[in-house]
Amino acid sequence: MQAVILAAGYGSRLGHHTRETPKALLKIGGRPIIFYTLETLRKNGIDDVVIVTGHKAFKIREYVKSFDISFNFIHNSLYRRTNNIYSLYLAMKAVSNDFYIINSDVFFHPDIFEWLHMNRRRNLVLSVDTIKRLGKEEMKVKIQNGRVTRISKEISPSDADGEYIGIAKVHSRAIEDLRSHIDLVIERKGRRVFYEEAFQSMIDYGCIVNFESTKGLPWIEIDTPTDLLVARHRIYREIYGLRRRGRDKFYFF
């Protein structure tokens, strides 16, 4: 299997934190975010990774070269004028089998990924937090009969059933559908929208989209300085604490 890590964004809401450092290299527990992602992939037997770079791309290339992983770097030179749907569009040219989509600014408990990895649904499967209290900014989902029926930030928090956390599994049977709907969304809405618009387009055309729950384990998307503080001082400790109690076999902090 392959993994696609979307790491092109500038991270403007993080201010000085990302002026000279891409979000993927912001440190939590003394290690860059991407370290935890790559270690989790490696421990699950995934050593073929596509990284879409943009802001300070050379720093990401330099950092990851020490990992025993085969990397394919794709540069989004338009990262300041596009959103992540364009980064995923570029990455789709490099995938040919089952693969994962991972937003580089998500810091997550490794078991969240392992449960998604073990999911045997042969389509598109999203990792969804069905427990977290939701607000307006979250990428929310509606779920019915075990399937995702809607995904959008525009869903009312009171109507949503969970939040898509930025990690998805794409079965080989769903690749062409995803590729087609990315193209369709870009044609209709341009390159400045979220790639979840392509997920919704798939749903609208009758494609099955399933989900795997995070089961309440800690994770966070890092968009603001407050998110970074929470990741460093709460989420990291929650994950580290779980591991010290022997509930996680992936101890690499």
CA distance 169 to 128: 12
Three-class SS of residue 138? coil
Residue-wise pLDDT tens digits, 158-215: 999 999 999 999 999 999 999 999 999 999 999 999 999 999 999 999 999 999 999 9
SS3 letters across 42-62: HHCCCCEEEEEECCCHHHHHH
Going by their DSSP bridges, the two strands 48-53 and 70-75 should be labelled as parallel
Q: Is residue 249 part of a domain?
A: no
pLDDT band at 157 (very low <50, low <70, confident <90, very high): very high
Count of structural domains, the chain: 1
In a domain, 252, yes or no: no
> Is 67 a domain residue?
yes
Which residues, other chains included, contact 248 with Cβ-Cβ below 8 Å and sequence gap of 6+?
A: 109, 110, 111, 239, 242
- What the block records as the tokens of 27 is 């440190």
Average pLDDT of every residue of the chain:
94
Please check whether residue 227 lies inside any domain of the structure. Answer: yes
pTM of the model: 0.94
**CATH number of 152's domain:** 3.90.550.10
Domain of residue 192, residue span: 2-244
**Is residue 175 one of the residues assigned to a domain?**
yes
Assess if residue 170 is contained within a domain. yes
Residue type, 151: I
Q: 251 in a domain, yes or no?
A: no
Q: Which residue has the tokens 């709907």?
A: 181
